[in-house]
Amino acid sequence: MSEEDQPLPISWDALAAELAATREAAEGSEDPAVWDAVAAELAARVAERPPADDAPAPLPVEEAVLPLPGVPEPLPEEEPEPEPEVDLDPAALRGGLEALLFVLDSPVDEETLAASLRCPVSRAREALAELAEDYDRRGAGITLRRVGEGWRLYTRDEHAEVIERYLGHGRGSRLTQAALETLAVIAYRQPVTRARIAGIRGVGVDGVMRTLLTRGLVHEVGSDPDSGGGLYGTTPLFLERLGLASLADLPDLGPLLPETASFLVDHPDAH
């Protein structure tokens, strides 16, 4: 296409004047086709012509959106910088862990301990294992155990009688044999209903269940889809009191069960 054949650039002022003249010529006409023809002709001419040099360039979206007067622009959010890790020597690290474990009354995970000491989790984990080994090696009055998802200090089992005498608890705070048997059934058969527990033990369990629920050793974990009765299981406090990391650490029932022959002699109606 030669320069003579190229469409002339659009002059927006001239276009406005032409539109006004066309509108005056079409006034009084009720025929929609007139306006359709005018609109089609203008659209075609605008599409063919490049914008004139005096046409204002469109603003970018960022510049076209003006801030409201009197409203300050929001500042960009700054992410908090993580605290730098501290290179603790082994003695300081172990001392810090002991101090934290001493004031905590529930198991605490390795990540929380490491964050408090500002050290890598791997170093905290190694130091915890070393502390536990040291307590056991020298027969300290306390022991460090991993229970559930965390670590906690406990008094050693060998000194339980001394502590009970000092606290004056004696046997009054201990669970009854019936409560212990019910707790054992729940621990090994969970989730389990009260009816199932009573069927296994052969006696009613409402009283001991109230005791176990009050002590926080068991809790309701759902409902049985068949009977609609509540299903019960042990709590994290149960693991903590027994010093277990998970239910997988419960002892195997096999060695604790009576021989099949002797059981059938004592219970001839058993199937």
Quote the pLDDT of residue 41.
Answer: 66
Those residues whose C-beta lies under 8 Å from the C-beta of residue 157, and which sit 6 or more positions away, are none
Q: Write down the domain spans for the chain.
A: 1-56, 90-159, 177-266
Torsion angle, CA of 15/19/21/25, rounded to 10 degrees?
A: 150
For residue 261, the model assigns a pLDDT of: 46
Contact 144, 104 (CB under 8 A): no
Ranges of beta strands (E only) in 23-162 are 142-147, 150-155
What would the pLDDT profile of 36-53 be if each residue is shown by its tens digit?
666 666 666 655 555 555
**In CATH, what number does 90-159 get?**
1.10.10.10
Continuous segment of H or E residues that includes residue 233:
strand 230-234
Confidence band (pLDDT; 50, 70, 90) for 89?
confident
Domain 177-266 fold is Arc Repressor Mutant, subunit A (1.10.10)
At 163-220, the pLDDT tens digits run 877 766 544 567 888 999 999 999 999 999 999 999 998 888 988 999 999 888 999 9
Q: What is the pLDDT of residue 164?
A: 76
Quick check: pTM over 0.95? no
**Predicted confidence (pLDDT) per residue in 28-87, tens digit:** 555 556 656 666 666 666 555 555 555 555 545 444 455 555 556 666 666 655 555 667
Establish whether domains 90-159 and 177-266 are of one fold.
yes
d(CA 187, CA 234): 6
